[in-house]
Amino acid sequence: MTQARHALVTGAARGIGLIVAQRLLQQGCRVTLMGRNVQALEQAAQQLKPLGEVGFVAGDVGSAQNVEAAFAKARDQFGPIDILVNNAGQAVSERFDRMTQEAWHSMLSVNLTGTFHCIQAALPDMLAKRWGRIVNVASTAGLQGYAYVSAYCAAKHGVVGLTRSLALEVARKGITVNAVCPGYTETDLVRDALDNIMEKTGMTLDQARAKLAESNPQGRLVQPEEVADAVAWLCQSGAGAVNGQSIPVDGGEVMVG
């Protein structure tokens, strides 16, 4: 991968997004971190600075105006966007019959519409260069159903469908579009899920962790580094023949065939 590649990673202040940014810097990219918390982005950028050229922009992916402004600022610093990693996401657990319209729209806004906004903002740069990589961090919830997270599942299924459709549109234009679908991963989202399980069931932390790990044939939670490595590989020039795929990173929970 050449030094000239400019990668923008959303939800990049922590967790999977931060490690993806680290991996891309190690591959020689210039990286823009995007998120909503300026202080957290500043700290992340300082942490990553020894690895290469890194900057940050603040914005809410659910707002098209925010995204356009943030992407324009990123271009001012590092030039056109070659690589987009849509990692920003949020999960709320609720029984379907108790879910509010507000919660439903919030899940779609962050997880699906945010992905749409960011792709629309980055795609013209890639089309102009006839080269680009778009990687959407979806979830195994985009490949199958889970109880009590219907809005999240609906949004992530939408991300997988968007990935497949757009991949066909740009297949002959030097651009690939893929999704990485982690199972339960050791992130803040899963820590929130663990807190929810403990509160509702009285389980200990170890018991709640074991409950989530049951779905993984390896009997463990996926580590953020494992997801980031899959994302970083899809961003390389050598992954050019991989397009329209939704790759589970889940120890074998979902086998796509």
Residuewise pLDDT in 10s, the chain (257 residues): 445 799 999 999 999 999 999 999 999 999 999 999 999 999 999 999 999 999 999 999 999 999 999 999 999 999 999 999 999 999 888 899 999 999 999 999 999 999 999 999 999 999 999 999 999 999 999 999 999 899 999 999 999 999 999 999 999 999 999 999 999 888 777 777 777 778 778 888 878 778 778 889 898 889 999 999 999 999 999 999 999 999 999 989 998 76
pLDDT of residue 1: 43
Q: Do residue 202 and residue 159 come from a single domain?
A: no
Q: Which residues are catalytic?
A: 152
Q: Which domain holds residue 137?
A: 6-183+223-241
Q: Is 59 a member of any domain?
A: yes
Q: Is 247 a member of any domain?
A: no
Measured at the CA of 94, the angle between CA 92 and CA 97, to 5 degrees, comes to: 140
CATH code where residue 63 lies: 3.40.50.720
Which tokens go with 60? Answer: 């809410």
Q: Do residue 22 and residue 147 come from a single domain?
A: yes
Q: Do residue 191 and residue 168 come from a single domain?
A: no
Residue with token string 């960011």: 118
pLDDT of residue 2: 45
Q: How many domains does the chain have?
A: 2
Q: Do residue 195 and residue 236 come from a single domain?
A: no
pLDDT of residue 215: 86
Q: Is 151 a member of any domain?
A: yes
Residue (of 194, 105, 96, 90) closest to 145 by Cα position: 96
Q: Do residue 79 and residue 161 come from a single domain?
A: yes
Q: What CA–CA distance (Å, rounded) separates 210 from 239?
A: 35
Q: Which amino acid is at 5?
A: R
Alpha helix ranges (H) inside 37-186: 38-48, 64-78, 101-108, 114-129, 150-169
Q: Do residue 177 and residue 188 come from a single domain?
A: no
Q: What CA–CA distance (Å, rounded) separates 167 from 244?
A: 5
Q: Is 252 a member of any domain?
A: no
Residue with token string 């089309």: 127
